[in-house]
A and B are shown apart, each in its own frame.
Chain A
Amino acid sequence: MSQLPEPIPNTFDEEKPRDPYWFKHAVFYEVLIRGFADSNGDGTGDIRGLIQKLDYLQWLGVDCLWLLPLYESPLRDGGYDIADFMKILPEFGDLGDFVKLVDEAHKRGMRVIADLVMNHTSDQHPWFQASRHDPEGPFGDFYVWNDNDELYKDARIIFIDTESSNWTYDPVRGQYYWHRFFSHQPDLNYENPDVQDAMLEVLRFWLDLGIDGFRMDAIPYLFEQEGTNCENLPKTHEYLKRIRAEVDRLYPDRVLLAEANQWPADVVEYFGDPASGGDECHMAFHFPLMPRIFMAVRRESRYPISEIMAQTPKIPEHCQWGIFLRNHDELTLEMVTDDERDYMYSEYAKDPRMRANVGIRRRLAPLLENDRNQIELFTALLLSLPGSPVLYYGDEIGMGDNIWLGDRDGVRTPMQWSPDRNAGFSDCDPGRLYLPVIMDPIYGYQALNVEAQQKSAGSLLHWTKRMIEIRKRHPVFGLGEYTELNSSNPSVLAFVRELGDDRMLCVNNLSRFPQPVELDLRRFEGSVPVETMGGVPFPPVGELPYLLTLPGHGFYWFTLPPASQEA
């Protein structure tokens, strides 16, 4: 390790000062290194390729990149099966490349966070190999071993498509090992203090290299306890507090993002103690919101969203939700009822190949039948509902998917940069690509690519860029209170975001048909709403209900400036 560069100095300038709460108003962009840009022509994207595209991401308005796992791995689970926490996967580059990526991103005022799997390792990890071969050795107790498969029967099986038990027998050690996910991913034994210390060491290693934070994968499952469902246990929270204290002590503006696919009421536990403003994770994903946005628009009724927002508890002051429409995983339906899941399947995944585990594996554009109005409405909701939005690479140009690829690969195809060979992603022989580029007549790269959309002022890409700009001009989207407004029309979702005098009125028509709505805006009487896309002032708010008409799947964002004094 001695050849490593020094940690990154503070390269944020006057305009982009270091801000401990930057994540509360940041726009995140999830990027698959493998699928973004290939710099060396081997058919697989790499870190140097990503560095070449940072200017594009800066242009788009991205504040923070979220990288999927980039560690040494046998790649049996897209890299979530980590074989060495302190090495970069050779196809992606090396630690020097990574440090350069962080450095170049920081120069552009962007940050970088990466996935880190806390719960388990690959069965190829040296810790596991040592553990199975030498039960008495220093790693003998690094994993959860048992003589039979009778313990923790109340824990559900997550990957129901492939796994039949959470225990697998290891003939080498002659015992069963515990795994909440694939059988080639043994769970680490957090009851062992050495495991806790070893993982803290891993975190410090990357933080010292300048990384701005982690998305901590599968966080609810760290500990096990008989008689429970082995999720969200108190000991898990204790350990998270320990991690957070270490981060606060040495790395004050880094962020911990919890991936806990649970109900909001359970997820808030991962923010920690509200009295301290939060002492566990800075951020957590709001999982149930996303399927409900889809459901609401499909039903032309705001109630699926209203309900989940009403059930979402307040979070500690210095914390933030992460919200998303689509990501590299399936559109997960764990947080909906059975009826709702059937409904989502029948509406959005008519072909069984579109389904994976308990979810739907499709990208945003094909889910919405490539309807530009709906794509815009969904993106507007993503950018205006409470939380920091996470865009998925390629969705800014409306990329398609390939349901004929296995598992979740259908939504992980190469980024479409240009109409050139391999969509401009790589100059290798097409057959060498890690996955084929999308070539169908609607979403194929010849027509649908960044280059073409950058040239066209009316493209989805330019529209998305403009919306991100508007969002960034108004910190209220990240920091403001959320209040749903009474609307007499069940197809219209209206809400106000408020942060002092920065007030944003968002009105969304979830119906495919034009709709009127009357809003009670008496609280803002005298204010002159200004539409944010064009800056057009609308009639002032009076005492009577404020009438708006919206086109099908239309939306408005209005600023509500304080009423002028003379009026």
Chain B
Amino acid sequence: MLTEFLTGWITHQRWFAGKGRPIDDLTVDSDLELAPGLRHLIISVRQAGAHDRYQLLLGSDGDESARFKPAHIGDGYYDAAYDACLTGTLLEAMAADRDLGPLRFRHLEGVEIDTSLRSLVLGAEQSNTSLVYGGTYICKLFRRLIPGVNPELEIVTALARQGTTHIAQPYGWIETDLDGEPTTLAMTQEFLSNASDGWALALASVRDLYAALEPSASEAGGDFSGESFRLGKATAEVHHELAVAFPTEVIESPEVKRMVEDFRRRLAVAVAEVPQLGEYAHVAEEAYQRVADVAREMPVQRVHGDYHLGQVMRTPTDWVILDFEGEPGQPLAERRALSSPLRDVAGMLRSFDYAARHLLADHPDAEELRPRAVEWAELNRASFLAGYSAGGGHLRAEDAVLLRALELDKAAYEVVYESRNRPAWLPIPMAAFQLDR
């Protein structure tokens, strides 16, 4: 009975990964009462050979009238993530380090959790549902379950134990064993209640520059370079903390050459898919060759992995870095792999290019404004790098070659992505190959 309702309901959920394909079978793997009227389910969905597992908070005795409509499952059942009367149970269990059946609720040693706060679902995301408790905590409920400890939980708890300031303080988590592996079900962090992401801040600056009478990125009122510098500094500090908290290695020149081969392979794939990139492929080829020519030892460590302006938040006092999840869509082992910290630096440099240019996409004065975009990007890239060095980041003159190659590798990926999804934005990554940097 319940499984029938769930089958009808799950296909309409944003986080459901198997949209558009028929469901062969839906079973409840685990069903646990957390509190009266609140059950925790892990369900298996089988679709043409694919097997995905999802978790669900199932409410049954709440008021399922108007307020819960989007969460309505059927027969009195609803998605209890939306029921603030029930979600307090999660905070209480984490605060008390409770074990409920196979579920383990934990809190970070030394922190206090205020269990009186009521939750609100904050927008829906692809892979998780976020509950904001008061204005204080945000609890990410992972919907589709992948065996293993979530890399972000692993990183922020390790950094918090070292006293790092540029992260959102973790408070607690929920885990269980899946296929014999400890697996993160949810994690609770400080909610940055008065923060906005770097992308929005950067765009405010760019918009101001476009509208200025006397355009000059450093003189326009919306000058962002001070923020870029501070962000660079925060990035270097977090890289340093990551190197202290997790293993580091030095890879030898044969491995560096293998990395260059990967760059080349991805470039070839991109050129095959987006032929107009071919005209500029030599720019990347030359940049990659330079890395191969000078290949020598390269220090690697845990990194952010998917670093851009949308992953950093400006609070009233500082920059905070979020979502240490690694590259999205990759297997867990790859998301946790060691890499050069310059990969993050390159990601942010690309992000500055995007911020500078993305408003040009259908701008009537795009031609006229392009030099301003270039100037804005150059200024903020330089400020970010200066801040990164000032914060102790390893950035020597000889690293420029590697950094350039990492940037072009990222841009090649972007070319493919934009040509598939947002053709209007294709000129943004294409420009990376045309600039003489």
Contact = CB atoms under 8 A, between A and B. Distances in A.
Interface in A290-304: 298-301, 303
Interface string B208-221: 10010000000101
A487 B194 contact: yes
B237 interface: no
Contacts of A489: 196, 200
Interface string B150-176: 000000000000000000000000000
Contact of B226 (A339, A488, A491, A513): A339
B336 interface: no
Contact of B120 (A309, A490, A522): A522
Given A299-B205, A303-B316, A486 B194 contact: yes
A522 B84 CA distance: 12
Interface in B321-373: none
A511 B196 contact: no
A205 interface: no
Interface residues of B, number: 25
A420 interface: no
A543 interface: yes
Nearest to B218: A346
A484 B208 contact: no
Contacts of B196: 487-490
A484 B315 CA distance: 12
Interface in B410-435: none
B204 A307 contact: no
A490 B314 contact: yes
Interface string B287-331: 000000000000000000000000000101100000000000000
B204 A511 contact: yes
B207 interface: yes
Interface in A457-496: 484-491
Interface string A293-324: 00000111101001101100000000000000
Nearest to A513: B207
A347 interface: yes
A346 B200 contact: no
A300 B223 contact: no
B201 interface: yes
B222 interface: yes
A300 B194 contact: no
Contacts of B132: 520
A303 B226 CA distance: 12
B314 A303 contact: yes
Given A300-B204, A490-B200, A490-B201, A306 B194 contact: yes
B76 interface: no
B278 interface: no
A512 interface: yes
The 6 closest A-B pairs by CB, nearest first: A306-B316, A490-B196, A298-B221, A486-B193, A490-B201, A310-B316
Given A298-B221, A303-B314, A343-B226, 17 more contacts: A299-B208, A299-B222, A300-B204, A300-B208, A301-B205, A301-B222, A310-B317, A347-B219, A485-B194, A487-B196, A488-B200, A511-B207, A512-B208, A513-B211, A520-B132, A520-B193, A543-B120
Interface of B: 67, 118, 120, 132, 135, 193-196, 200-201, 204-205, 207-208, 211, 219, 221-224, 226, 314, 316-317
Interface of A: 298-301, 303, 306-307, 309-310, 339, 343, 346-347, 484-491, 511-513, 520, 522, 543
